[in-house]
Chains A and B, each alone.
Chain A
Amino acid sequence: MDEEPERAKRWEGGYERTWEVLKEDESGSLKASVEDILFQAKRKRYMSEGHGQVRLGMMRHLFVIIDSSRSMEDQDLRPNRLTSTLKLMEFFVEEYFDQNPISQIGIITTKNKRAEKLTDLAGNPKKHLAALKKAVDSTCVGEPSLYNSLNVAITGLVLTIYTLHMPAHTSKEILVIFSSLTTCDPANIYELIKTLNALKIRVSVIGLSAEVRVCTILTRETGGSYNVILDESHFKELLMLHVKPPPASSSSECSLIRMGFPQHVIASMSDQDAKPSFSMSHLDSTGEPGLTLGGYYCPQCRAKYTELPVECKVCGLTLVSAPHLARSFHHLFPLEAFQETPLEEYEGERFCEACQGELKDKSVFTCLACKKVFCVECDLFIHDTLHCCPGCMQTDRTS
Chain B
Amino acid sequence: MIPKLCYFLKLLVFIILNNLILKLKLNIDGLLVYFPYDYIYPEQYSYMLELKRTLDAKGHGVLEMPSGTGKTISLLSLIVAYQKAYPLEVTKLVYCSRTVPEIEKVFNIIYIFITHCIINSYFKIAFQIHFSSVKYLSFLALRFGKEVDGKCHSLTASYIRAQHHSNPSQPVCQFYEEFDAVGRQVPIPPGIYNLDDLKDFGRRKGWCPYFLARYAILHANIVVYSYHYLLDPKIADLVSKELAKKSVVVFDEAHNIDNVCIDSMSVNITRRTLDRCQTNVETLQNTISRIKETDAAKLREEYSRLVEGLKEANVARETDMYLSNPVLPDEILQEAVPGSIRTAEHFVGFMKRFLEYLKARLRIHHVVQESAPQFLKDIYEKVCIDRKPLRFCAERLRSLLRTLEIADIADFSAITLISHFATLVSTYSKGFTIIIEPFEDRTPTIANPVLHFSCMDPSIAIKPVFGRFQSVIITSGTLSPLDIYPRILDFRPVTVASFTMTLARTCLCPLIVGRGNDQVAMTSKFETREDFAVIRNYGNLLLEMSAIVPDGIVAFFTSYIYMENIVASWYEQGILENIQRNKLIFIETQDAAETSMALEKYQEACENGRGAILLSVARGKVSEGIDFVHHYGRAVIMFGVPYVYTQSRILKARLEYLRDQFQIRENDFLTFDAMRHAAQCVGRAIRGKTDYGLMIFADKRYARADKRGKLPRWIQEHLTDGSLNLTIDETVQLGKHFLRQMAQPFRQEDQLGLSLLTLEQLQSEDMLQKIAQIAQQA
Do residues A228 and B581 form an inter-chain contact, with CB atoms below 8 A? no
A144 closest partner in B (C-beta):
B609
A229 to B733, CA, bound (A): 15
CB-defined contacts of A143 to chain B, threshold 8 Å:
581
Do residues A181 and B582 form an inter-chain contact, with CB atoms below 8 A? yes
CB-defined contacts of B611 to chain A, threshold 8 Å:
181-182
CB-defined contacts of A181 to chain B, threshold 8 Å:
547-551, 582, 611
A184 at the B interface (CB under 8 A): yes
A184 to B584, CA, bound (A): 11
Do residues B609 and A183 form an inter-chain contact, with CB atoms below 8 A? yes
Most-contacted residue by chain B among A214, A215, A230 (CB, 10 A): A214
A143 to B611, CA, bound (A): 12
Encode B727-744 as 1/0 by CB contact (under 8 A) with A: 001001100110111111
CB-defined contacts of A229 to chain B, threshold 8 Å:
740
Do residues A228 and B547 form an inter-chain contact, with CB atoms below 8 A? no
Do residues B729 and A211 form an inter-chain contact, with CB atoms below 8 A? no
Contacts A181-B582, A211-B742, A213-B631; is A12 near B549 (CB within 8 Å)?
no
Q: Which of A181-207 contact B (CB under 8 A)?
A: 181-185, 188-190, 207
Contacts A71-B547, A212-B551; is A189 near B581 (CB within 8 Å)?
no
B607 at the A interface (CB under 8 A): yes
A70 to B254, CA, bound (A): 46
| Distance (whole angstroms) from the CB of B346 to the closest CB of chain A | 69
Contacts A209-B739, A210-B549, A228-B740; is A12 near B729 (CB within 8 Å)?
yes
Q: Which of B34-65 contact A (CB under 8 A)?
A: none
Do residues A211 and B743 form an inter-chain contact, with CB atoms below 8 A? yes
A182 to B548, CA, bound (A): 10
CB-defined contacts of A210 to chain B, threshold 8 Å:
548-550, 634, 736, 739-740, 742-743
A14 at the B interface (CB under 8 A): yes
| Distance (whole angstroms) from the CB of A78 to the closest CB of chain B | 15
A15 at the B interface (CB under 8 A): yes
Number of interface residues of B (CB under 8 A): 29
Q: Which of B607-625 contact A (CB under 8 A)?
A: 607-611
| Distance (whole angstroms) from the CB of A169 to the closest CB of chain B | 29
A76 at the B interface (CB under 8 A): yes
| Distance (whole angstroms) from the CB of B722 to the closest CB of chain A | 10
A146 at the B interface (CB under 8 A): yes
Specify the main secondary structure of chain B where it touches its partner. helix
A-B residue pair count with CB separations less than 8 angstroms: 80
CB-defined contacts of B220 to chain A, threshold 8 Å:
none
CB-defined contacts of A185 to chain B, threshold 8 Å:
608-610
A76 to B739, CA, bound (A): 14
Do residues B610 and A183 form an inter-chain contact, with CB atoms below 8 A? yes
B700 at the A interface (CB under 8 A): no
Contacts A14-B733, A182-B583; is A209 near B740 (CB within 8 Å)?
yes
CB-defined contacts of A182 to chain B, threshold 8 Å:
582-583, 609-611
A183 to B611, CA, bound (A): 8
| Distance (whole angstroms) from the CB of A46 to the closest CB of chain B | 19
A182 to B581, CA, bound (A): 9
Q: Which of A13-60 contact B (CB under 8 A)?
A: 13-15
CB-defined contacts of B631 to chain A, threshold 8 Å:
212-213, 216
Contacts A209-B550, A211-B550; is A230 near B740 (CB within 8 Å)?
yes
CB-defined contacts of A211 to chain B, threshold 8 Å:
550, 739, 742-743
Do residues B744 and A228 form an inter-chain contact, with CB atoms below 8 A? yes
A354 to B630, CA, bound (A): 51
A228 to B609, CA, bound (A): 16
Contacts A213-B551, A228-B743; is A15 near B733 (CB within 8 Å)?
yes
B606 at the A interface (CB under 8 A): yes
Encode B624-658 as 1/0 by CB contact (under 8 A) with A: 00000011001000000000000000000000000
CB-defined contacts of B745 to chain A, threshold 8 Å:
227
Which residue numbers of A lie inside 8 Å of B, CB to CB? 12-15, 70-71, 76, 143, 146, 181-185, 188-190, 207, 209-216, 227-230
Which residue numbers of B lie inside 8 Å of A, CB to CB? 547-551, 581-583, 606-611, 630-631, 634, 729, 732-733, 736-737, 739-745
Q: Considering the complex of A and B, which 6 residue pairs feature the smallest CB-CB distances, nearest first?
A: A214-B609, A228-B743, A14-B733, A213-B631, A211-B743, A210-B739
Other A-B contacts than A210-B549, A213-B550, 8 sampled, CB-CB below 8 A, are: A14-B732, A14-B737, A76-B736, A185-B610, A210-B742, A213-B631, A216-B631, A229-B740
